[in-house]
Amino acid sequence: MTKKLESDLVENLNEICSINSMFVVVNKYLKKSRNGRYYMNLTLSDRTGRIKAMMFDENAENILESIDVGTVCRVEGNVNEFPRDSKNFNIIINSIVGLSEGDYDLDDFIVASQRDKEELVNEVRKLIKSIESPELKKLLRSFFCDKDFAEKFYTAPAAKFHHHNYIGGLLDHTVEVLKISMTLCELFPELDRDMLCTGVMLHDIGKIHTYKYDLTHIDFSEKGKLLDHIFISSDMVKEKINTLEISEDISDRLLHMILSHHGDVSNGWGSTVDPKTPEAVALHYADNLNARVKDILQNGAKR
């Protein structure tokens, strides 16, 4: 078993150099250059990030078919900066070969939350305990006291690309949006704290069904390809509400928050209705703020 050198980690590939190291294949495409020749276009990753890679070879199509997405490969080539002085680095591959499990240390490739999981879970439990509305507390407990649901929620990623796209990312994102929302409640005491916090906790729960993932790779599930996470989340909440004694007013306000949390329909981000209540507006901006800031923190330096 071979471990990656610290200097070969993606986060350290910030100068022109040769490289012979191991990466996970995140995605792969066959593209055609202006001169009509085919080349491989890939995204590679390790536990520290992702990097674009290309391979120009007359056998590009056959080589591409020989490697699978989600597998670890040994890559030999050169780190290149393009355009010059852009700080945008990629790898020009000379050779790429798939590896067997015993050839590498899996820990070099697992992208997971760096935060203490139990601490975050305690934040969730503390929030549920603080909810004063019997109906909303009952609804939250019906989800988070279900061991199967809770385990999926605590380990799921929040995205395939962009922000929080790692094991435990959904929990990280939810707790972070929760803290932003609690600050909004302090600034605007007129907000319905119980409703806003419940909306935060449930707005993305459909993501436990949107993605399929293992320790090295995240992709859309069959359901995720067909149904947006907003629809799946609202459907899960509606189904649970139908089994509980939840008033129509609370049900409508909560479902409205979930269906509108990506902002105005005209944005084209997946909302089916514009946010119209103070809590829906607060959820949208808290969610968007967290997603945008995290995306830059995760990926900004690599762009």
pLDDT, tens digit, for every residue of 198-233? 999 999 999 999 998 876 778 899 998 999 899 999
Backbone angles phi, psi at 134, to 5 degrees: -60, -35
237-291 tens-digit pLDDT: 999 999 998 999 999 999 999 999 999 888 888 899 999 999 999 999 999 999 9
In the chain, list all ranges with CATH 1.10.3210.
117-302
Q: Could you give phi then psi for residue 271, rounded to 5 degrees?
A: -65, 145
Assigned CATH for 6-108: 2.40.50.140
Amino acid at 9: L
Q: What angle do CA 114, 187, 168 make, to 5 degrees?
A: 15
Residue spans in the chain of domains classed CATH 2.40.50.140: 6-108
Tokens of 86: 């852009």
Angle between helices 229-241 and 248-259 (to 10 degrees): 170
- What's the confidence (pLDDT) of residue 189? 97
What separation in angstroms does the CA of 120 have from each of 79, 124, 152, 179, 233?
Answer: 38, 7, 14, 11, 21
Q: Average pLDDT, whole number, for the chain?
A: 91
Task: Name the pLDDT band for 301 (thresholds 50, 70, 90).
Answer: very low
Separation in Å, CA 50 to CA 115, 138, 162, 217:
20, 41, 11, 12
pTM of the full structure = 0.78
pLDDT(95) > 90: yes
Q: Band of the pLDDT at 172, cuts 50, 70, 90?
A: very high
Would you state the structure tokens that stand for residue 46, as one six-digit string?
A: 């390790």
Fold of 117-302: Hypothetical protein af1432 (1.10.3210)
Cα–Cα distance, 58 to 38 (Å, whole number): 7
Within its chain, how far is the Cα of 16 from the centroid? 30
Query: Per-residue pLDDT tens for 23-67?
Result: 999 889 999 888 888 899 999 999 888 899 999 988 888 888 899
Q: Which of 34, 68, 40, 36 is nearest to 52 (CA)?
A: 40
